[in-house]
Chain A
Amino acid sequence: MRRYNYQAHALIEVLHTVQESFGYLDEDALKFVATALHVPPSRLYGVSTFYNFFSLKPQGVHTCVVCLGTACYVKGSAQVLAAIETCAGIKPGETTPDKQFSLLKARCIGCCAIAPAVVYDGVVAGNQTPKQAVERIGGILSHGA
């Protein structure tokens, strides 16, 4: 916040930094940011819920983002997602009860040439099939247990 000179318009930048450091936006962090930037907490809450990128809930140790952009959709990303849902037993936006694994979906990550794309723990993997994805997820789940 100091880098942005405590200006209220740096709010989104600050929230990015908070999420990067803590993995999600918790209530204490939001209150702290609101006080420091002199922004009402209501607006802060509005901003952090408006944007898909911010998460108010803690994420699992491992994350998996399935791209649902058009190119990935045409190439069958819906089947990949369905396979992962069945395998992990959670829906997009949820985390497994043991806090090991979070499943998320994205609106195009810009890797359309290698569709369908899935991001495992921040690393993009292209040309995914449901079988490949389930193997990866199976590995992550058993590793976490």
Chain B
Amino acid sequence: MVREDLTAIAEKERAARKPMRVRCCMAAGCLSSRSAEIKTALEKAVNDNGMTERVEVGRVGCMGLCGQGPLVGVDPEGLLYEHVTPENAPSIVTAFTRNEAEASRGDLSHPFFTSQVPVVLAHCGRVDPERIEEYIEAGGYSALHHVLFEMEPAQVIEAIAKSGLRGRGGAGYPTGLKWATVAKSTGAHKYVICNGDEGDPGAFMDRSVLESDPHAVIEGMAIAGRAVGADQGFIYVRAEYPLAISRLQIAIRQSKQHGLLGAGIFESTFNFNVDVRIGAGAFVCGEETALMASIEGKRGQPRPRPPFPAEHGLWGNPTLINNVETFANIAPIINRGPDWYASLGTEKSKGTKVFSLTGKIRNTGLIEVPMGMTIRKIVEELGGGAPDGGTVKAVQTGGPSGGCIPAAHFDTPVDYESLVNLGSIMGSGGLVVMDEHTNMVELARFYMQFCMEESCGKCIPCRVGTVEMYQLLTRLVTHQATSHDLAQLEELCDLVKNTSLCGLGQTAPNPVLSTLRYFRNEYLELLQPEAMSTR
């Protein structure tokens, strides 16, 4: 594979394109509502109407508006049909020539679509995730070529640093700085790990990216490998995402066949391999040291840092760990330049962020917006507010490690620092919307139960503290608690937060702390009245 081959594949692919293209969403959300049958029905309808010369039916990844799925898109008109069924799918095809389609048409001028800035999701819902040719046609792997032949590894790191990209896994560590540290470390081998252990309940950005555009992640990893001097990559994916795993395995096989992974990539001297490692259902494995233990075939328990993985990681070697979305940002940054990327977003949080909007909201799905957009705009304009005339009470960000942001603070711009100031975190990007029917204390208890069951049991504050906090919250929910219990709960929160070994324990009290901060009255209402009067 050389540069000319890449161009040739892209041109061949373009020449084979038919004038009209029907795109069928086949990511996990739509697949579960029979989108495979819809694709078959569409193909049959194209055939029956004698349009096979002009129309092609393609499989694509997530188109974003998952709540209205299954979705079908039509190009070049750019139409979008919602809630398609195998029964009304043929009418989409007949509508090319006459009549209106029976399926309802999505409104693409809605802010849900117009306010988005797709960088990571640029190919999602456009290319077939199981065909490398379509990714190459969309400009794929040209960034890797550029990095190998036009740039020095140090220049690559400089470009990433200049772009201002920060880790999309939650903590927001500057990606360029992390790469520079790994590049400087010495070791017999270096590794690149992609953290796809998206454990936060309510978040599915990484799943969608892996299912819809797996090559973007692989290309980002290969560029990272070149920049830091690694020759082996691992993608750690949850076992709960079987479709993402199979599409990744297909993508890796195709890249190897095309000489884009393996030995001598683009006939250079650069070697890089990627293997998929499958998780086995442990939330703590999203923590980087636990994740490495899991890749090594051990129990996924974290260890104290330092030494950081950048110096002492997988099998004691320098290891670069980034999240799926971070890697998916790399190729666009190389292609369009760090200055372009830095022009998006806010002063300290550059670029865009993918969020999954779920819960009590009209437009559930996946969105990508520039950093700094207000929560109000995301929830009310893009998300369309609460369904059935309800009022949005709060949003929860960052999963079990994050916190709840009440409606009063919805004018806060979404960036790493602002969310921390509100007592929450950016997290991986799950936004769960709650309306007036959601009981915040029960929600805090729900998260505490999660942390309690997922605590690995290595350090005592987390192992014992989460159980104690869960019991206190249970007393509250069942109207048995006194103000003394509430005081004890707050004390425990502080203790667990400050003394736990890893991120799971350190952030486990966050949902309690943030709901206490903004919805203290809900806690107070649950207290035993006589106990309150004695104090």
Q: Footprint of B on A, CB under 8 Å?
A: 8-13, 15-16, 39, 43, 46-47, 50-54, 68-75, 106-115, 117, 123-126
Contacts and interface: CB of A to CB of B under 8 A. Distances in A.
Interface stretch (B98-106, B290-298, B343-351, B497-505): B290-298
Contact of B280 (A16, A39, A68): A16
A8 B434 CA distance: 45
Contacts of A113: 29, 66-67, 69, 204, 356, 358, 364-366
Nearest to A19: B280
16 contacts: A13-B278, A46-B299, A50-B301, A52-B280, A53-B280, A70-B359, A71-B432, A74-B358, A106-B281, A107-B199, A108-B199, A112-B356, A113-B29, A114-B33, A115-B358, A126-B32
B446 interface: yes
Contacts of B283: 107
B385 to A, nearest CB: 15
Interface string B460-487: 0000000000000000000000000000
B518 interface: no
B358 A108 contact: no
Nearest to A48: B280
Nearest to A122: B242
B396 interface: yes
B137 interface: no
A10 to B, nearest CB: 6
B29 A126 contact: yes
Contacts of A68: 201
Nearest to A124: B32
Given A70-B432, A113-B364, A52 B358 contact: no
A50 B282 contact: yes
Contacts of B359: 70-71, 74-75, 115
A1 B307 CA distance: 32
Contact of A53 (B67, B239, B433): B239
Contact of A124 (B28, B200, B201, B296): B28
Contact of A70 (B66, B201, B282): B201
Contact of A9 (B33, B207, B297, B447): B297
A75 B281 contact: no
Nearest to B242: A122
A15 B279 CA distance: 11
A69 B240 CA distance: 12
B474 to A, nearest CB: 14
Contact of B298 (A43, A71, A111, A124): A43
B441 interface: no
A136 to B, nearest CB: 14
B243 to A, nearest CB: 9
A12 B28 contact: no
Contacts of B202: 69-71, 108, 112
A70 to B, nearest CB: 4
